[in-house]
Amino acid sequence: MSRPLKSGRPRHEQLSDWLRERIASGAFQPNDRLPSESQLVEQFGVSRITVRRALQTLEHEHLIYRRQGLGSFVQDTRVRQGLVRLTDFLEDMQQAGIEGTSRVLHQGLVEAGAHVAEALEVEPGTRVLRLDRLRLGDGEPMAFDQTWLPVTYARLIEGRDLARDTIYGILEREYGLRIERGRYRFDAVNAPAEVAEVLQVPPGRALLLIERTSFGELGRRIYFQRRYYRTDRVTYEMELERDPGQPSTAHGMPLQEFEPVFRSRPAEEP
């Protein structure tokens, strides 16, 4: 079915604008194949030269890549940044070129349940601070996290603007308490109703759950955190490198990269 272009502007610019908008909206996903040159010629009633100029424009903008004999594909423009080092959410966003903001939803003392108590090495029922924050990337819900701190460390962040500052930043900058290491656990979960509401996804939607225990000097447990990521906003990539000097039976391979891949805006629902 033909889709005539408007007069007044070069046709190849209008076609590249249309394709660019479809990519930005998520109608074409990373690595999706675009309509063929013949299909675009028929759909828009233009010449093959016009189609090729439009595709060349998008290729120069690094929005698409082309494969000889296969066609044109959407470039994966999600920004990568490493998590081999310890970072906080706002640092991750800054490294990824995304404007990260936070919204505090709850901050108060609660009794530690069994799982939290084990992570913090306190007795179940011990009073700890629970901090709930909605994490936004370019103004869109990206993650929801709950953080538990022993009262000793909770006092140090009392009265702070935790929508703008980070726990890492406050403890290290103002108290010299350096976070030296973290223990991570990754899991796939179905969104509980209350988490789904905050992240603006349907209940039961698959989410990426990351649990992290952060340690200070002498192995002191500073905080335990659960972060629920929208799976249309982040995924993880890992790269291992084999040492050619080691036999194939060597235990494991050195970790070269372990990084999240963020999308600043959600993909369009199918």
Domain shared by 32 and 104, yes or no: no
Domain shared by 61 and 124, yes or no: no
Helix or strand (DSSP H, E) at 99: none
Domain shared by 52 and 128, yes or no: no
Q: What is the CATH number of the domain that holds 111?
A: 3.40.1410.10
Q: Is 82 part of a structural domain of the chain? A: no
DSSP string covering 151-219: HHHHGGGTT--TTTS-HHHHHHHHH-----EEEEEEEEEEPPHHHHHHHTS-TT-EEEEEEEEEE-GGG
Q: Is 268 part of a structural domain of the chain? A: no
**How long is the chain?**
270
Asked whether 29 and 267 are in contact (CB, 8 A), the reply is yes
Q: Is 145 part of a structural domain of the chain? A: yes
Query: Pairing relation of β-strands 64-67 and 127-137?
Result: unpaired
60 contact partners, CB below 8 Å, separation of at least 6: none
Interval 244-260 mean pLDDT: 49
Question: For residue 16, what is the DSSP state?
Answer: H
Q: Is 202 part of a structural domain of the chain? A: yes
Domain shared by 63 and 122, yes or no: no
Question: What is the C-alpha to C-alpha distance for residues 32 and 9, in angstroms, rounded to an integer?
Answer: 28
Domain shared by 26 and 143, yes or no: no
Domain shared by 154 and 200, yes or no: yes
Q: What is the pLDDT of residue 203?
A: 93
- The region of weakest confidence among 18-22, 73-77, 134-138, 198-202 is 73-77
Supply the pTM of this predicted model.
0.62
Which residue range forms the structural domain that includes residue 65? Answer: 11-74
Q: What is the pLDDT of residue 241?
A: 60
Dihedral angle of Cα 107, 139, 93, 204, to the nearest 10 degrees: 70
- 101-156 pLDDT, tens digit per residue, is 899 999 999 999 999 999 999 999 999 999 999 999 888 899 999 999 999 999 99
117 contact partners, CB below 8 Å, separation of at least 6: 123, 124, 125, 126
Q: What is the pLDDT of residue 251?
A: 45
Q: What is the CATH number of the domain that holds 27?
A: 1.10.10.10
Domain shared by 113 and 62, yes or no: no
Question: For residue 237, what is the DSSP state?
Answer: E
Based on the structure, what is the number of domains in the chain?
2
Query: Which residue did the predictor score with more confidence, 219 or 129?
Result: 129
Interval 155-165 mean pLDDT: 89
Q: Is 255 part of a structural domain of the chain? A: no
What's the mean pLDDT when you consider all of the chain?
Answer: 82
Q: Is 226 part of a structural domain of the chain? A: yes
Question: What is the C-alpha to C-alpha distance for residues 133 and 64, in angstroms, rounded to an integer?
Answer: 36
Q: Is 241 part of a structural domain of the chain? A: no
Asked whether 220 and 122 are in contact (CB, 8 A), the reply is no
